[in-house]
Chains A and B, each alone.
Chain A
Amino acid sequence: MSTDTRNRARTRALTITIGVGLAIGAIITAFPFIWMITSSFKPQSESIDYPPTILPQTPTIEYYLTLFTELDFGRYLVNTVIVVLISYVGLMLMAMAGYAFAKFDFRGKGWMFFLVLATLMIPVQVTMIPTYLIINSLHLTNTLVGIALPTLVSGFSIFLFRQFMTTIPTEMLEAARLDGAGEFRTFWQIVLPMSKPILAVQVVLTFIAGWNSFLWPLILSSDQKLYTLSVGLNLLNQQLAVNPSLQMAGASVMVVPILIVFIIFQRYVIQGFALSGLK
C-alpha cells in the first residue's frame, strides 16, 4: 500500500517535471513569434536599442500604417487572396479526379493513377526551370493565374481524395442516378457533402500553402503590381539594418492570419499533416 502510493507520487512528480520541461520547450519554440509581435509595436529607435526590451515601452502602430499606406501591402494582400482563391479551383478539379479514380472504371485508369503517384517523387528543383519555360510560352508570366498554375493540382491531394471517396457506398450514387440526377449533380450534391472530412482538411491546407507560397510568385512575377505578400515581404528583407520594427510588422501581417486559421481549424490542420505520413 505505502509503496504503491509512493510509486504513484513518483509518477506524478515525473509527469509534472515533463510537463514543465515541455512547456519551457514550447515557449522557446514560440519565442520568435512573440518577439515578432512585440517588436512590431516598438518605435524604430527602440527595436535597435541596446539592451533590447521584451515589451514595447512606447507602443505604436505606425509601421502597420506604413505597410498599407507608403508601401503597397494592401495590393499584395489582395493578390495573395486571389492566388488562394484560384487554388480552390484546383482543389475542385482534384476532388473530381479523385472521384473518377475512386468510383469509375475506365480505360487508362491504371496508368493515369500511376502518373499521379509518380509526380510525388519528382523534386521541385527538376520542374522549376521547365515549368518557368512552359508558363512563359503560355504568356502567363506576370499573371496571378500563372503564379497559381504550377501548384494548382498535386498528386498527393488527388490520392487523398481517391482514398477517401472509395469509402462512399456505390448504392447511394446509383440511387441518385435512378432518381435522374445528372453525373455532375450527383458529384455536387452527394459526393462532395459526403467527403466533408477530407474536404475540410484540404481546404485548410490549401489556404496555408497558397498564402505562404514563395518560390513560384518569386520566379514568375517581376511586376510589383502582382507581388504576393511573401514576395513583397522579401523586399523588406534587404533592409535589416534600417528598420526591424517595419519588418516585424510585415512579418506579423503574414503570420497572424495563419495563426488564427490554425487556432480555429487546428484539428483539420493536424489531421492533414498526420495524413501526409501516408505519402
Chain B
Amino acid sequence: MKRKLTPYLFVSPAMLLLVTFGIFPIFLAAAVSLTNMNISGFVRPQNIKFIGLENYVTLFSDKDFWQALWNTGGFALFGVPAIVVLSLAVALLLNRRGNWFFQALRSFYFIPAITAIVAVSLIWGYLYNTQFGFFNYLLSLVGVPQVQWLSDPLLAKFSVALVAIWRGTGLNIIIFLAALQGVPKEYLEAASMDGAGEWRKTYSITLPLLRFAIFFVSVTTTISWLQFFDEPFVLTDGGPLGATTSMSIFLYKEGFRLNQFGYAAAGSLVLFAIIAVITVIQLRLRRADDEY
C-alpha cells in the first residue's frame, strides 16, 4: 500500500505547479478572452461580462494589431535566415580544430546568449546613442553624419533585430557544434583522398548530414522570432510610432498598460494559433523533403 503511494508523493508537487502555471492558464486565457475583463472587472468580479467573440472581431479590425502582426512577420523573415546562416557558418569554422584556441573562441560567441536582457539593452542603447554613441563615432571617422539608430522608424527595426541576432546566434552555434560531432571523420577523409576540396566536402558531406540540425534550429528560431519581445521592449518600447511593436509587445501593452485583460488574452490565443500553424507547416515540409 505504501509503495503504491510513493510515486504520487514524488510527482505531485511538481505536477501541481505545472498544471497551475503551465496548463490551467490556457483554459483561463480562453475563458477570459470571451469576456470584457479589464481593470474594473479585476477589482470587482461582478463587472466581468461574457461578450462572446467580440474581442476577436475587434482584434481583426484593430490597425495596431495588424501593424504588430506585419512587424513580427518582417522580423521573422529577416531574422530567421540571418541567425541560421550566421550560426551555421561560425559553427563550421569553429569545428575546424579542436584545440584550446578554437575552444576559447567558442565561449566568446556564446556569452551574449546568457547575459541579462536589461543589461544588454543598456549597453546597446549607449552604443546606439545618437550624440555620444560609439557607433556614430565610428561612422563619423569615415564621414557619415549622425545616424538615428533607435528613433528612425525603419532603422529602429534593424537596430533591435541586430541585438536579437547578436544574442540568438550563441545558442545555435552550440547546437550546430554538437551536431557536427556526429559527422563521421571517415567520410571526410575518404572524400579528401578522392581529391575533394574544403568547399566540396562541406557542401556535399557535412551540410547534408546536418540537415536535421538545420531544420531543428530553423523551427526553434522561427518560434522565438514570432514571440519576439525582449529587445524591442527594453530598447525602444515598441516605438518609434509602433515600428518595432511585435505581437508580444502589443499583447503586453494591451494587458498590463491598458489592463484590457480579455482583449489581450484573445490576442495571445491568436498568436498561439499562428505559431502552431507555422510550426505544423514546417514539420510537413520537412516530411515531404524526407520522401526523396
Hey, which chain B residues are within 8 Å of A52, CB to CB?
132, 134, 137
The listed residue (A22, A125, A129, A240) touching B126 by CB distance below 8 A is: A240
- A56 interface contact, C-beta 8 A: no
Hey, which chain B residues are within 8 Å of A30, CB to CB?
108, 111
Contact B255 A273 (CB under 8 A): no
Secondary structure dominating the interface of A? helix
Contact B265 A130 (CB under 8 A): yes
Contact A237 B178 (CB under 8 A): no
User: Nearest-CB distance from A81 to chain B (Å)?
Assistant: 15
Hey, which chain A residues are within 8 Å of B272, CB to CB?
122-123, 125-126
Chain A 10-45 per-residue mask, 1 if CB under 8 angstroms from chain B, else 0: 000011001101110111011011011001000000
CA gap between A19 and B103 in the complex, in Å: 11
Hey, which chain B residues are within 8 Å of A233, CB to CB?
116, 118-119, 122
The listed residue (A15, A128, A247) touching B255 by CB distance below 8 A is: A128
Nearest B residue to A135 via CB reads B21
Hey, which chain B residues are within 8 Å of A152, CB to CB?
17, 21
- B213 interface contact, C-beta 8 A: yes
From 7 to 29 in chain B, residues with beta carbon under 8 angstroms from any chain A beta carbon are 7-11, 13-15, 17-26, 28-29
Contact B122 A128 (CB under 8 A): no
Contact B174 A274 (CB under 8 A): yes
The listed residue (A15, A187, A237) touching B118 by CB distance below 8 A is: A237
CA gap between A127 and B114 in the complex, in Å: 23
Hey, which chain A residues are within 8 Å of B222, CB to CB?
none
The listed residue (A122, A183, A234) touching B234 by CB distance below 8 A is: A234
CA gap between A252 and B126 in the complex, in Å: 14
Hey, which chain B residues are within 8 Å of A35, CB to CB?
123, 126-127, 134
The listed residue (A247, A248, A277) touching B178 by CB distance below 8 A is: A277
- A251 interface contact, C-beta 8 A: yes
Chain A 246-279 per-residue mask, 1 if CB under 8 angstroms from chain B, else 0: 0110111011001100110010011001101101
- A96 interface contact, C-beta 8 A: yes
Contact A122 B174 (CB under 8 A): no
- B75 interface contact, C-beta 8 A: no
5 CB < 8 A contacts A-B: A36-B123, A106-B8, A149-B17, A266-B107, A270-B110
Beyond the given pairs A99-B10, A233-B119, A254-B115, 11 more chain A to chain B contacts, judged by CB atoms under 8 angstroms and listed by A's residue number, are: A30-B108, A52-B134, A96-B13, A97-B13, A101-B11, A134-B24, A234-B118, A240-B126, A251-B118, A251-B123, A255-B115
Residues on B facing A (Cβ under 8 Å): 4, 6-11, 13-15, 17-26, 28-29, 32, 42, 90, 93-94, 96-97, 101-102, 105-127, 129, 131-132, 134, 137, 166, 171, 174-175, 177-179, 198, 213, 216, 220, 223, 227, 229-230, 234, 247-248, 251-252, 255-256, 261, 264-265, 268-269, 271-272, 275-276
